[in-house]
């Protein structure tokens, strides 16, 4: 039997209690509304994205051409930025080098929206838009999962013909250093209206649907979670499905978990408020407190140990478009 000094035992016990307490607090916390100090609000929008860049929150894109909304968390106020040069919607934006990148977007009106042929870049510091690399012809789609990982942009799945069909299982990578596109192994299944997340060297595709026009347009949601291992270059599918199937949801990584928020589905008219977390070590899900307002078609960001969400649509479909923001503390109070 190993005998530890009393001080070591106390430290070990304290650490264990701290971990257990933090896990419990993550469950016991609740979402809190975040208002601006001057009463300002972001531009209402949905099918947009929400990211942090340059220590500010950037809300951009959405149906029609609308000004960028920028929130300064230190001052607690919103301001407007330059609108994009074209209509950009149905995309997962991400930050790279203090700029916001938009890849795998759609443009135009429902239901036959068309894929945007280029990556678009917004620089919050200069309040300027620029047209980035061209996406190879024949690999263009929208409502796709998009993220940056180790100086490379990954674009997964999506849909070509707006909300009518031609769903893709495509997987592509753009090397920001060499300015080259490459085709990677296709995902196990097509999906659109979802977001991709990287945790522990693996890409997770969770949520989404196969969009189509008709009475059951919201019911084609996907339960399977597909995983790409960057080390082996292979896909796999988890044995456990997402507890609440929905599309138009938004994801983020926290520790060893992939967290899925919000969304829309055929099971209810109000947008989903659920927050569910997948532990990638055990491949098990747990339920976390729901948002104050259900919403879909936006994004989330993490700032100072809290996750923030803003705007989006309050019901499935196109409205009402929200101008509220709320946050959830991820760290112990």
Cβ neighbours of residue 8 closer than 8 Å, sequence gap 6 or more: none
Domain count, the chain: 1
pLDDT of residue 27: 54
CATH number of the domain encompassing residue 245: 2.120.10.80
Across the chain, what does the average pLDDT equal? 92
pLDDT of 145 > 50? The answer is yes
Per-residue confidence band for 132, with pLDDT thresholds at 50, 70 and 90: very high
pLDDT of residue 25: 40
pLDDT of residue 236: 98
CA 313 – CA 333 distance, rounded (Å):
30
The verdict on residue 74 lying in a domain is yes
- Mean pLDDT score, 75-101: 97
pLDDT of residue 28: 60
pLDDT of residue 332: 61
The verdict on residue 11 lying in a domain is no
The verdict on residue 206 lying in a domain is yes
The string of pLDDT tens digits covering residues 55-81 is 999 999 999 999 999 999 999 999 999
Per-residue confidence band for 18, with pLDDT thresholds at 50, 70 and 90: very low
| CB-based burial label for 176 (10 Å; 0-12, 13-18, 19+) | middle
Domain extent, residue 301, equals 30-329
The verdict on residue 34 lying in a domain is yes
Residue in 282, 183, 196 with CA at minimum distance from that of residue 233: 183
pLDDT of residue 214: 85
- Mean pLDDT score, 300-310: 96
Is 142:156 a contact under the CB 8 Å cutoff? Answer: no
- Mean pLDDT score, 299-319: 96
The verdict on residue 137 lying in a domain is yes
Per-residue confidence band for 8, with pLDDT thresholds at 50, 70 and 90: very low
Per-residue confidence band for 35, with pLDDT thresholds at 50, 70 and 90: very high
- Mean pLDDT score, 188-204: 97
CA 190 – CA 180 distance, rounded (Å):
24
The verdict on residue 210 lying in a domain is yes
The verdict on residue 14 lying in a domain is no
The verdict on residue 141 lying in a domain is yes
CA 90 – CA 104 distance, rounded (Å):
8
């Amino acid at each position: 039997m190993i005998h530890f000094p009393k001080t070591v035992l106390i430290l070990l016990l304290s650490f264990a209690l701290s971990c257990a307490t933090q896990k419990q607090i993550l469950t016991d916390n609740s979402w809190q509304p975040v208002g601006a100090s001057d009463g300002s609000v972001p531009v209402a929008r949905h099918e947009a994205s929400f990211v942090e860049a340059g220590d500010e929150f950037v809300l951009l894109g959405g149906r029609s051409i609308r000004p960028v909304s920028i929130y300064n968390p230190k001052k607690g106020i919103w301001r407007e930025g330059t609108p994009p040069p074209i209509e950009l919607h149905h995309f997962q934006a991400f930050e790279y080098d203090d700029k916001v990148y938009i890849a795998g977007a759609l443009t135009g009106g429902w239901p036959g929206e068309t894929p945007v042929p280029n990556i678009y870049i917004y620089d919050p510091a200069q309040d300027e838009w620029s047209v980035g690399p061209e996406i190879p012809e024949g690999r263009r789609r929208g409502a796709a999962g998009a993220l940056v990982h180790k100086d490379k942009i990954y674009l997964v799945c999506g849909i070509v013909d707006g909300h009518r069909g031609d769903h893709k299982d495509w997987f592509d990578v753009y090397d920001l250093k060499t300015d080259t596109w490459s085709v990677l192994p296709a995902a196990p299944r097509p999906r659109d209206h979802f977001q991709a997340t990287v945790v522990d060297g693996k890409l997770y595709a969770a949520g989404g649907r196969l969009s189509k026009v008709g009475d059951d347009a919201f019911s084609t949601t996907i339960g399977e979670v597909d995983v790409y291992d960057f080390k082996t270059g292979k896909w796999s599918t988890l044995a456990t499905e997402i507890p609440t199937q929905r599309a138009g949801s938004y994801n983020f990584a926290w520790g060893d978990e992939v967290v899925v928020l919000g969304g829309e589905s055929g099971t209810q008219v109000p947008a989903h408020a659920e927050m569910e977390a997948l532990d990638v070590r055990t491949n098990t899900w747990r339920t976390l407190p729901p948002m104050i307002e259900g919403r879909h078609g936006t994004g989330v960001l993490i700032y100072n140990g809290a996750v923030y969400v803003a705007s989006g649509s309050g019901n499935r479909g196109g409205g009402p478009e929200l101008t509220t923001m709320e946050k959830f503390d991820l760290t112990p109070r």
